[in-house]
Amino acid sequence: MTPHGTRAGEDAEDLDVEEVLALVNNNNDLPGPAERGETDSRRASGRPDTSPRPDARHHATPWPEARATAARAARSTTRAARRRPVTVPLEAALGLTLAAPLDALTDLPSFDTSAMDGWAVAGPAPWDVRDDGVLAGHGAHEPLTDGEAVRIATGARIPPDTTAVLRSEHGRTDEKGRLYATRDVVPGQDIRPRGQECRSGDQLLPVGALVTPAVLGLAAAAGYDTVTAVPRPRAEVLVLGDELLTEGRPHDGLIRDALGPMLPPWLRALGVEVTAVRRVGDDAEALHQAITTSDADVVVTTGGTAAGPVDHVHPILRRIGAELLVDGVKVRPGHPMLLARITENRHLVGLPGNPLAAVSGLLTLAEPLLRTLAARPAPEPYTLPLRDAVHGHPYDTRLVPVVLRGDQAVPLRYNGPAMLRGVAAADALAVVPPGGARPGQEAELLDLPWASGGIGVCFT
Ligand SMILES: Nc1nc2c(c(=O)[nH]1)N[C@H]1C(S)=C(S)[C@@H](COP(=O)(O)OP(=O)(O)OC[C@H]3O[C@@H](n4cnc5c(N)ncnc54)[C@H](O)[C@@H]3O)O[C@H]1N2
Ligand code: MOO
């Protein structure tokens, strides 16, 4: 199990992950091949794909369908593995999805409490002020009698038989020490009655709610030390390529690894636990060993997806009898990206090595897969008009970095497959259909986690 949690008791009345998924909003999952009446011989046969690699272009999956396939793959995983909810301490729960409703364990407030610093007063003015006072965090105070007042702090328990709280700025005392109000006193004023926010047992949040910082605060206020949540998906990153340096400047044909530093925090922003980042070079045996011994839910590889002499991903997937669910996508950059089922409940996402192509694969395949494993709802799709024309690919979707300015998306330069300069300045990627887009044409936008706000910025 993850270091973040332990398995919930078998007798928990919690929903399992599949049931949680049914409750969260997945309304932008597109219909899959089955729903559209399409067939796929590799899937229909139920056997792993062990045939020689076909022409990747021929089998490339349309971009929207690739995303839907990735989300569906996660759904079949949760069914197969019956992933059980976990009990997670609050400090480790940020970004998880609730698998049990958050029901109040107490009334809130749990006692009648003063909303202001001042005096608790009983009956009409003037009042004799008692010598003692009532501070927050103390037990029951003795009752007041009419004509009595006692100093009270915000958050302190209201003494029995109190009429109202008089704010310190609304009272004055005469030379005999008697207290008067400088404003009308309304019975009950500045008293927060017990149960004003909720009664014990009230549902504060439903199954499927995302654990945000505010949810952590609410859970703590309502008496929780732990929450019952969908387990965080576990991903391992395998960085391929002998040409990669981990420090210093590029030299002698060697370049810096841009993906090792980029992917783990990006995956964490998707609610994932990154179990390891391994550099496996261009060594086929090391890659085989790393894939077959990983216990992560999702193995993410970078590079080696094409058909070059040291592109080992396809041969190894064939060797281990993995089922290729997506083998190339009609998207630029990143068209050699792939998704494979390596065992019944483990997947591999193969990201192309070109860095922006890897971002494209991350958003196209890894995000829907991992988001669905985490039982997070799909973000609401939205569009904005493009300020400038965007050159299109004749047949493939393009993902183009944009900044959002007012109600327009402004396409950025430096959007080539090997470049990160555009996306590093971007708020989102615009989805440009085959053939391109005119100025003013509406384009779907994929928010980048740090730009969309919300839980994404928390990098759990
Ligand atoms: N004959 C063909 N060659 C290529 C095709 C094709 O269709 N036919 N597709 C091209 C496209 S498009 C892409 S994208 C790449 C995908 O290549 P791989 O996934 O096999 O990646 P590599 O060959 O290992 O690397 C490509 C490129 O990216 C650099 N790289 C790799 N890893 C990193 C990293 N962690 N950080 C920074 N840069 C990285 C690598 O040095 C190469 O320059 O294939 C094309 N070829
Ligand atoms: O699809 Mo590749 O990403 O053009 O470079």
Give per-residue pLDDT as tens, 206-265.
Answer: 999 999 999 999 999 999 999 999 999 999 999 999 999 999 999 999 999 999 999 999
Locate the ligand 2 atom nearest the alpha carbon of residue 332 and give its number: 1
Distance (Å) from CA 337 to ligand 2 centroid: 9
pLDDT-derived band at 3, boundaries 50, 70, 90: very low
Comparison of pLDDT for 3 and 78, the residue scoring more: 78
pLDDT above 80: residue 76: yes
Distance (Å) from CA 334 to ligand 2 centroid: 4
Amino acid at 162: T
The confidence score (pLDDT) of residue 176 equals 92
Residue with tokens 């992560």, as numbered in its chain: 296
Phi/psi at 319 (nearest 5 deg)?
-60, -35
The confidence score (pLDDT) of residue 184 equals 96
pTM higher than the cut 0.80:
yes
3-class secondary-structure state, position 428: strand
Selected from 2.170.190.11, 2.40.50.140, 1.10.10.10, 2.10.69.10, the CATH number assigned to the domain covering 113-192 reads 2.170.190.11
Vertex 317 angle, CA 316 and 319, to 5°: 60
Please give all residues whose beta carbon lies within 6 A of any atom in ligand 2, as ranges: 332-335, 352, 354, 357, 417
pLDDT-derived band at 436, boundaries 50, 70, 90: very high
Q: Tell whether ligand 1 has an atom less than 6 A from the beta carbon of residue 302.
A: yes
Distance (Å) from CA 392 to ligand 2 centroid: 14
Neighbours of 434 (CB within 10 A): 15
Lowest mean pLDDT among 148-152, 367-371, 374-378, 439-443: 374-378
Mean pLDDT of 166-188: 96
**pLDDT tens digit sequence for 390-423:** 999 999 999 999 999 999 999 999 999 999 999 9
- Region of 90 (left: φ > 0; alpha: ψ -120 to 50; beta: rest) is alpha
What whole-number distance in Å separates Cα of residue 271 and Cα of residue 437?
33
Percent of the chain with pLDDT over 90: 78
Note whether 159 and 142 are within 8 A (CB): yes
Closest CA to ligand 2's atom 4 = 333
Calculate the average pLDDT of the chain.
88
pLDDT-derived band at 47, boundaries 50, 70, 90: very low
The confidence score (pLDDT) of residue 58 equals 62
Order of strands across the sheet that contains 226-229: 6-7, 86-89, 226-229
Of 283, 312, 354, 420, the residue with max ligand 1 atoms within 8 A of its CB, to mutate for a pocket test, comes to: 354
pLDDT above 50: residue 300: yes
The confidence score (pLDDT) of residue 7 equals 31
Residue with tokens 């006193």, as numbered in its chain: 185
Distance (Å) from CA 242 to ligand 1 centroid: 13
Question: Domain residues of the chain, as ranges?
Answer: 113-192, 232-373, 383-458
Locate the ligand 2 atom nearest the alpha carbon of residue 360 and give its number: 3
Locate the ligand 1 atom nearest the alpha carbon of residue 311 and give its number: 20
ipTM over cut 0.90: yes
Architecture of domain 383-458: Beta Barrel (2.40)
Sign of CA dihedral 438, 443, 448, 453: positive
What whole-number distance in Å separates Cα of residue 111 and Cα of residue 88?
28
Query: What is the assigned CATH class of domain 232-373?
Result: alpha beta
The confidence score (pLDDT) of residue 113 equals 97
Alpha carbon 223 to its chain's center: 24
Distance (Å) from CA 318 to ligand 1 centroid: 20
Locate the ligand 2 atom nearest the alpha carbon of residue 417 and give its number: 5
Indicate the helix (H) or strand (E) that contains 237: strand 234-240
- How far does the chain reach from its first CA to its final CA, in angstroms? 18
The confidence score (pLDDT) of residue 422 equals 97
Mean pLDDT of 110-136: 95
Lowest mean pLDDT among 29-33, 173-177, 261-265: 29-33
The confidence score (pLDDT) of residue 39 equals 33
